[in-house]
Chain A
Amino acid sequence: GDSVTQMEGPVTLSEEAFLTINCTYTATGYPSLFWYVQYPGEGLQLLLKATKADDKGSNKGFEATYRKETTSFHLEKGSVQVSDSAVYFCALSDSNQFYFGTGTSLTVIP
């Protein structure tokens, strides 16, 4: 079945460091791929998405490129801020369901 595997956390970075959170997927069809972010005490919010191979999703300085050849959708940001501290979830959808990864906790320290 479809599934998403993402990098185990927690991740701790200094402000302005480069961020990569790895995500790989397994799907039988041609899924859409997503990154969601969950700030403390809140629900999950859509951060970015890509709907087909080679698409790049971007938002708030975060980027992820849909790589069909490596079945990956890694999240990157060139310079993280303290306000980026949150839990990040990779997800895919190729039908009426979403499949979420287990989440990666990011803490950015000043």
Chain B
Amino acid sequence: DAGVIQSPRHEVTEMGQEVTLRCKPISGHNSLFWYRQTMMRGLELLIYFNNNVPIDDSGMPEDRFSAKMPNASFSTLKIQPSEPRDSAVYFCASSGLTGTGFVYGYTFGSGTRLTVV
């Protein structure tokens, strides 16, 4: 099992540019989560999907952030336009969810380190 795969590992971009982060969850997992980690705020949940449907996006900081999950094997997190304060490590995680609501296999990707200059 390749685990949760994120790309790119590192991204440096100029302020105002569009940034797209990508995530491939573990095959068979039906929930996907996007997190942001900074020294100041720690680990923050941005949005999560269940069966490709966004369930809770209350953690998305602003309208500049958007996330999609067009199918069970791919998700994107887009920032447009990017700002220096968006610099952080962005993690994707996936898990399975049984019919009785039991979460299993919660696994993180290696993250994308974003630097906006």
Chain A positions within 8 Å of B, measured between CB atoms, are 32, 34, 36, 42-46, 89, 93, 95-98, 100, 102-103
Contact = CB atoms under 8 A, between A and B. Distances in A.
Nearest to A34: B106
A43 B31 contact: no
Interface of B: 4, 31, 33, 42-43, 45, 48, 50, 55-56, 91, 93, 95, 97, 101, 103, 106-111
Contact of B106 (A42, A93, A95, A103): A93
Per DSSP, chain A at the interface is strand
Given A93-B106, A97-B103, A102-B42, 19 more contacts: A32-B103, A34-B106, A36-B108, A42-B110, A43-B4, A43-B109, A43-B110, A44-B43, A44-B93, A44-B108, A46-B107, A95-B101, A95-B103, A96-B50, A96-B101, A97-B56, A98-B93, A98-B95, A103-B43
Contacts of A103: 42-43
A93 B93 CA distance: 14
Contacts of B91: 43-44
Interface of B is mostly: strand
Contacts of B97: 96
Contacts of B111: 42-43
Nearest to A45: B108
A102 B40 CA distance: 11
A102 B45 CA distance: 12
A97 B108 contact: no
Contacts of B48: 96-97
A100 B48 CA distance: 14
A90 B96 CA distance: 20
B43 A43 contact: no
Nearest to B97: A96
B103 A96 contact: yes
Contacts of B93: 44, 98
Contact of A98 (B101, B103, B109, B110): B103
Contacts of A93: 103, 106
